[in-house]
Each structure stands twice: as structure tokens, then as C-alpha cells.
Chains A and B, each alone.
Chain A
């Protein structure tokens, strides 16, 4: 019983964390290059819609994924046009992207599919299903670790493992490559990068492209793996939670991943703890657990549990001197 419970908790934690991880990595890249990304939520939402619409119409996983990434990247470039090419306010631009996505996905959904803003469910061939379908039953009889290994770790679809693999990949990109060094430098001191003869704009646009692709994956996970169709405002604040996670992880890939897993765990726990009396504490209100990620982030940012230091040039438009 206990290991079954642990396995189930582990499984739902990983499932809840996956879109957060994609999205947090996207935001992390962008913020490390000095571009604030409030628009994660909107990009993920629009990507989810694109994946749902393309998946339903064309019946292909690849097309759905591509459409999601394309749409999210386009929004990233729009952000770049306003804040990298010109010196528009990055926060305002992100807010605009969120509002546009919230409105336009419903408008297009209602007009194209006439189902109150939903897309028709994608067929089971389009859905991304478990990578090792036999693992759960094969490991069922294994004592102690069976449920944890089978249900908890090996029951997932490819995107869950991809998200986890992308964490070291992004770490490697940021800290072991020349591109990563420049990316971090442009977030700390763009003048220096410019003086070294590297284009600030180009670096930031490249980063925004990667950011869009990752947001696209986050959105398509929601539609192709977690649910089967797009529904109105289905991201439900996950983009902001990812933003909180990357800050909570102090702008580091590994830290962000742990924060995403923690927030995913809280999400999973909130559902299970509904109406349950904990020994010593009594009934914990679900809303308190749901608000905990945001409270924790505020407390961390305020410097009460260690210090989170943002990239130096974060949010400041760079104006090239002539």
C-alpha cells in the first residue's frame, strides 16, 4: 500500500512538473540573456492551442509539435521586436502577449471549431503515450520498489523524460559552451559583450528562439500528453508558476528543476490532501498548498531564506552606442 502510494505520488509529481520544467527552462534562458519574460503563460497557452488545433486537423504529432513551437517562437520574436530591437518595456510586452493569447485562442477556437473555445480532441495516434508501456505490469510483482519504479518512474511518456534531459542540456549550454558564456555575459553586462564584437541583438534573438521552442513543448505537452484537447485558459497560471520556479531556483537550471518538482509535488499533494486530516496539524486547506509556491518565491526574493540575485542587466533595454 505504502509503496503504491509513493509510486503514485512520484508519478503525478513528475507529470505535473513537466510543463513547468519546459517553461522554466525557457524563461531561464531568456532571463539569463537579460530579457524579462512575463509572457511565458501566454506563449504556453497559444502553443497549447496550436498543438490542439493542428493535431486535430492534420492528425500528426509532428505537425502539432511544430505548430506549437512555431507559434510560441513567433510570440517570442514579437517580444524581441518590441524589447530587443526597440527599447519597449519588457514587462508590458509580456503582459500584452499574455492578454493577446488569452483572448485570441478563444476567438480562433470558437470560430474554427465552434465548441465554445475548445478544440476537438486529438486522436489517440496523435497523443504522446507512455514510452515503456510494458514497464508497469512487468515490475508490478517486484517487492518494495516495484510500484515506485514502474508506476512512479517508468510509466511516463517521452516528453517527461525529455524535460528531465533538457535540464542538464541547458546547464551544459549555459555553462560549458562559448554561446552560453556569451549568453550569460549579455545578461550581466551587454556593453562588454558589444565591445568584444558580439552582437547583443543576435544573441538575444537566438535565446528568444530557444525560449519559444521550449514554450512550444510546454504547451504541446498539455494538449498531446496530459489532456486530449485544448480548452479555454488551460494553462491556468502554470506559466507564472514556472516563472516563480526559475526565480526560486535562482536562475540556475538544476535549481529551477528542483523548484518545478517541488511545485509539482505540492500540486499533486493538494489534490490528495483534500479533506484529509494530517496528524498534529489538522486539515490543511487546499488553497494554502496551492498558494505555497508563490509564498515561497516571495519569501525567497525578499532574502529571508538565502539571497536570489537576478542577472544584472535583466529588464534593461540595451542601446548600442554609435
Chain B
């Protein structure tokens, strides 16, 4: 069932996400007002905190790096018509893979060998954690949404088990592994910039940002410039037609989830290899779910995902600043806003798209009417 007023492409790609974002911000502003805060001040502090200083900007980009990985993961699965709600679990397993490689290899191997090994290990662990639900969906008929939710919980139990029972050094209270050797540490951005003579304040931002951008290019090339990507998208937009064209949809389900899981598994490169330098518990903390919001906001396109990731990175960093400066303001405001964004740009897209299209059509008609080019009531412009 198509809407009577189809949205023009530019409106679908740019206007609709912006309108949805504004609605979500508006809903959040209402809540801010409700709890007796000043939305304008909050927004001011938030933007200043996220972009105002090089340090704030670094934090914003550091958060964005993780969101690019999880956002891309959701998007790739989505293009095959699958909803991968398991980014959280795949990222946990990816981090575990990255961490295990580092723990067992970092004392022996040099960095140029160690870091790629950690990357591959993380991607493979994430991939494995996504391929099992994919197999169960394709060949055993169980629903991927439910299976991936269950796998999120199993992954977090598994991580706790491995850390508590095997990796935690004896006599240490906090649940974390021993620190990796120096060769397993991804260079921080301020170190990398200092090497080329640019001074930059120290922050968690590290060179995995470039890895994330590379992943975006890779996903773009795969989805829109390769035969495999074409097959994958064909299955996503019309499984029946794809089947007639000789594309095996079951294979595509496996491929899409494999790529998706591998992307989510790269989160560990930012959080584990780039920042903490050891394996710990809460390094994903909801980023898998933020990835859903990022993919929805970014319209499942790499460029949109980068923009949406920076937006969410800014919200997380700015939100932390606001919580610091404004008493009675909780950082979880950002989580709530994220929920509103998922609601408005995901679940309610069908509520707003026809309204927006109607408004555009009306606007166009009103603009064109004085010129007399349209007979009354016929929208064949």
C-alpha cells in the first residue's frame, strides 16, 4: 500500500530524518521542562560540551567510533531484510575475541602482527555469534529476533563466566583481566597526531576511528558496488523475486548476518584495544542498541550512519557534561532521547511519512497555484 503522496527522494533521505530528530528532541524537551529544567540551557551546555573543546570533540568521536560499528552491523542485516537485535551480544563476543587474542599473544608478538590478529579474532568471534542465529533462522525456522535477543543474554553470561572463573588474576577484587602488553595497544589519537607534530589533548579517541571509516567504505562497496551486495539487497527487498532470479535466500541470510556480526565484533578494537588495554565487563553497555537508533537515523546508508554516529556521540558526551553542570539532570536523558528517536524514525515512520508527503504536496500546490499551471484538484504536477 503506497501513500497517495510519495515522498521525493531528497525528502525521504534528508527531510524525514531531520523531522523525526526534531520530534524526538521536542519530546525530550517536554520531559526536560517537566522535570523543571531549561531545555535551551541544556542544549547549549550539550553542544558546548560535545563540540566546544578539542577534548570534548575527541570524546564525541570516540563514542561515535563504537556506534559506527554497531550501526553498520544493524544496517547490513537490514538490507537483507533481517532485524539484528543482537549487536550487543556480538559486540561482547567480539571484545572477548579481541581480548583473548591480546592476552595470549601480546607478550610474544610485535604490534604489527598483534593488532591485525586482534582485529581478525574480534571479527570472527562476532561473526560466529551472529551466524548461529542466522543458521537457525534460515534452516530451522526459528525467528532471528528472538534468537539474537537470547544470544545477547547468553553472551553476557559467557563473558562474566570467562572473566570471573578464568581470566581474573587471583586475589583481585574487580572483575577484569590482567593488562595486555604494549604491543596490543592501539595508538591513541593524540599520540598519532603528536607523531606528525599536531598537539592534541589526551582522550580515549584512538586510531580505530579510521578503522570505522574504512568499514563504512567497505560496507558501501560491498552493498552497492559488488555482486554479493546486490544479491543481499535483492533478498532484502523481495525474497520471492530474488529466489526466481536464482539467488538462494538462505545463503544470503547467512552472509548478511556474518558480515553484520563481524562488524559488531569490531567494537572491541575501539573499547578494548584502543582504550582499556584489558578485558573487562561493561565495555559494550548498550552500544548494540544504540546501533539500532543509528541505523534508523542514518537510513541504513554508511554516510548517514557516520552522521548519526557523530550525533549520538555528541549526545553521549554532551549529556555527560550536562549531568556534570546542571544539578538534577541525569545522563540517562540521552538514553531516553535515543528511545524517542527509535520510536519516531523507526516505529512511527509510517505515521509521519504520509503527513510530511501531504504537507509537501500541499505546499507545492499552493506555490504553483498562482502561476495557474495546475487545474484545480489534480495532483499531476
Q: A92, B296: Cβ atoms under 8 Å? A: yes
Interface string of B333-374 (1 = CB under 8 A from A): 111111110110011111100000000000000000000000
Would B347 and A89 count as touching, CB distance under 8 A?
Answer: yes
Contact A95 B292 (CB under 8 A): yes
Q: Does B14 contact A (CB under 8 A)?
A: no
In the bound assembly, the distance between CA atoms of A19 and B259 in angstroms comes to 38
The interface stretch among A10-18, A194-202, A219-227, A283-291 is: A283-291
Knowing A95-B342, A291-B158, A303-B142 are in contact, say whether A103-B337 is a contact too (CB < 8 A).
yes
Q: In whole angstroms, how far apart are the Cα atoms of A86 and B149 in the complex?
A: 25
Across the interface, B346 reaches (CB within 8 A) one of A96, A295, A301, namely A96
Q: A100-B336, A103-B337, A302-B142 are in contact. Are A92 and B342 (CB under 8 A)?
A: yes
- Which A residues touch B161, using CB under 8 A? 285, 287-288
Interchain CB contact under 8 A, A302 and B335: no
Most buried by B among A107, A111, A290: A107
> At the interface, yes or no: B165 with Cβ under 8 Å from chain A?
yes
Q: Is A277 an interface residue (CB 8 A)?
A: no
Among A82, A111, A301, point to the contact of B146 (Cβ < 8 A). A301
- In this complex, how many residues of chain B approach chain A with their Cβ under 8 Å: the count is 50
State whether A107 touches B289 (Cβ < 8 A): no
Does B83 lie at the interface of the complex (its beta carbon under 8 Å from any beta carbon of A)?
yes
Within 8 A of A (CB), among B11-68: 31, 35-37
Decide if A106 touches B350 in the complex (CB within 8 Å): no
Query: Are B332 and A103 neighbours in the complex by a CB distance under 8 Å?
Result: yes
Chain A residues near B332 (CB-CB < 8 A): 102-104, 106-107, 110, 117
> Across the two chains, which residue of chain A brings its CB closest to B141?
A303
A-B contact count (CB 8 A): 160
B347 touches A92 (CB 8 A): yes
A119 on interface, CB distance cutoff 8 Å: no
Q: Which residue of A lies closest to B327 (CB)?
A: A114
**In the complex, residue of chain B having the shortest beta-carbon distance to the beta carbon of A94:** B347
B143 interface residue (CB < 8 Å to A): yes
Which one, B31, B143, B153, contacts A104 given CB within 8 A?
B31
Report the count of interface residues on A (CB-CB < 8 A): 51
Residues of A contacting B158 with CB < 8 Å? 287, 291
Q: Does B1 contact A (CB under 8 A)?
A: yes
Q: List residues 244-281 of chain B with CB under 8 A from any CB of chain A.
A: none
- Residues in A neighbouring B238, C-beta threshold 8 A: none
User: Does A87 belong to the interface (CB within 8 Å)?
Assistant: yes
In the complex, the answer to whether B342 meets A96 with C-beta atoms within 8 Å is yes
Mark out the residues of chain A between 72 and 87 whose CB falls within 8 Å of any chain B CB in the assembled complex.
78, 81-83, 86-87
- Contact in complex: A319, B339 (CB < 8 Å): no
Q: Is A99 an interface residue (CB 8 A)?
A: yes
Measured between C-beta atoms, what is the minimum distance from A316 to chain B in Å? 12
For residue A237, CB closer than 8 A to chain B, the reply is: yes
How far, in angstroms, from A254 to B344 measured CA to CA in the complex?
Answer: 37
Answer whether residue B307 sits at the interface, using C-beta atoms and an 8 A cutoff: no
Residues from 93 to 143 in A contacting B, C-beta threshold 8 Å: 93, 95-104, 106-112, 114, 117
Determine if B335 and A88 form an interchain contact, defined as CB atoms under 8 angstroms apart.
Answer: no
Does B203 sit within 8 A of A, measured CB to CB? no
A291 touches B346 (CB 8 A): no
**B328 contacts A by Cβ under 8 Å:** yes
Are A92's CB and B154's CB within 8 A? no
Complex A-B: 22 CB contacts under 8 Å: A88-B346, A91-B83, A92-B296, A93-B348, A96-B340, A96-B347, A99-B336, A99-B342, A100-B343, A103-B334, A103-B339, A107-B336, A111-B36, A111-B329, A114-B328, A240-B149, A247-B146, A287-B161, A294-B151, A298-B136, A298-B142, A302-B147
Query: Which 7 pairs, one residue from A and one from B, show the smallest C-beta to C-beta distance?
Result: A103-B336, A103-B335, A100-B339, A111-B35, A99-B339, A93-B347, A301-B142
Task: Give B contacts to A, CB under 8 Å.
Answer: 1, 31, 35-37, 83, 85, 136, 140-143, 145-147, 149-151, 153-154, 157-158, 160-161, 164-165, 289, 292-293, 296, 328-330, 332-340, 342-343, 346-351
